Amino acid sequence: MDNNTPQPDIPPSTTGMFDLILQVGLVAALIYACSRILSPLSEILLWSAILAVMLYPLHRRLLVRVGESGSALLIGLVGIAVMLAATILIVTSLGSSAATILSGLRDQTLTVPPPPPRLADLPLVGRKLAEAWALAADNAPAALARYGPMLKRPAAWLLSTARRFATGEVSFVLSFAIAAFLVGYGKAAASFTRRVLVRATGSPARGIALAGLAVDTIRGVALGIVGVAVVQSLLLGAGFFVIGLPAAGLWTLASLLLCIVQVPAVILTIPVMGYVFATHDTVPALVFSLWTLGAGLSDNILKPLLLGRGLDVPMPVILAGVVGGVIADGLLGLFIGPVVLATGYVLLVGWMTRHPGEDAQAMASGE
């Protein structure tokens, strides 16, 4: 073969295109590999970032007394201890109750108190509830044989929920540990986030503004949603304990979860009020009902005062992000939803209010 055979010339534009395709392909492969590695930890990392944003003001107060590393270590240890203590208390309480019930069913020693006399007077469901309760009080095995098939699906759902709860608690403990690490390096993490947003938006002012918006939205949701839910559940729980409601602690926990996911507390309190009216005198039951109604409606006063305070985003946008985020992504969406909607709203308003002349001027000035 003649080595002097002329080779076809490759246009420079074609060579540049091949180089560009190769570079883009390598970057895409790297992004895919990184996403595969981080995807199992994505939820934990997101929770860590959210917790770090929420806890950073506390860190700034503590570092004056115990230093940077001491504050981060203290926040991490206290957070992990609180989570583990709450998990142990809940698991111990539920496990003890379940063991007692199963032991009573096995030994046929389970005793159920008779139904309240006024239970049958409740509208729609009172008579059927009274019959089922009376059967369980007279003959628990017969009641279990009769209503057991109806309870299989709720029992399976409860077991699945308990399993997810246990897994979530472990993830949350890890999230607290990582959040404490992020809090200790808060300035570096904030600087890195701002640089990424500045690079993505092409504008230092816009990137810094979006970073501040995300931080303020997370803290606003923590105060306006989680804070209000805690206050509301404490008010409801006080009524549950004072009136002597059985398993008042679990009812309080259920009300907290409902309030966090923005489900009206009335779904829980109406059956409770019906039970109290059926088992207590009229005056205590009436006082309890008034207190419960007031506590259930307190979020209508507290939420407008706290949700989205200090943000340039309307409260309906934040609330829509909270509800939609919870529906789409569960509890994590409680924070991700409003951040995404608030960011989209700010970008949309900025685009609508910006004039074409400003775009040309910004490009000319290198913004």
**Sign of the CA dihedral with 341 first, then 342, 343, and 349 last:** positive
Return d(Cα 135, Cα 138) in angstroms, integer. Answer: 5
pLDDT reported for residue 76: 85
Estimate to the nearest angstrom the gap between the alpha carbon of 132 and the chain centroid: 36
Would you tell me how many other CB atoms lie within 10 Å of the CB of residue 54? 19
Query: In this structure, what token pair is assigned to residue 255?
Result: 């009300």
Residue 150 has pLDDT above 80, yes or no: no
The dihedral formed by the CA atoms of 184, 187, 193 and 196, expressed in degrees to the nearest 10: -130
Give the angle 28-29-35 at the CA atoms, nearest 5°.
90
pLDDT reported for residue 298: 82
pLDDT reported for residue 29: 93
Rounded to an integer, the average pLDDT of 328-347 is 81
pLDDT reported for residue 30: 92
Q: 154-173, pLDDT tens digit by residue? A: 767 766 766 666 666 777 78
- Contact between 127 and 115 under an 8 Å Cβ cutoff? The reply is no
Task: Name the residue with higher pLDDT: 340 or 363.
Answer: 340
**Percent of the chain scoring above 70 in pLDDT:** 73
pLDDT tier, 140 (very low <50, low <70, confident <90, very high otherwise): low
Rounded to an integer, the average pLDDT of 263-273 is 82
Q: Please give the mean pLDDT across all residues of the chain.
A: 77
Query: In this structure, what token pair is assigned to residue 226?
Result: 């989680």
Q: Tokens 């000035």 map to which residue? A: 365
Residue 234 has pLDDT above 80, yes or no: yes
Task: Name the residue with higher pLDDT: 8 or 172.
Answer: 172
Rounded to an integer, the average pLDDT of 63-82 is 84
Q: Please report, for residues 7, 165, 302, the alpha-carbon distance to residue 4 in angstroms, rounded to integers and kept in the order given.
A: 9, 75, 86
Rounded to an integer, the average pLDDT of 109-132 is 69
**Percent of the chain scoring above 90 in pLDDT:** 2
pLDDT reported for residue 118: 67
pLDDT reported for residue 177: 86
- Contact between 112 and 133 under an 8 Å Cβ cutoff? The reply is yes
Closest CA to 213 of 323, 358, 318: 318
Return d(Cα 105, Cα 215) in angstroms, integer. Answer: 53
Q: Which of 157-166, 220-229, 257-266 has the lowest mean pLDDT?
A: 157-166
Residue 9: φ, ψ to 5°: -75, 135
Please indicate, yes or no, whether the overall pTM of this predicted structure exceeds 0.75.
no
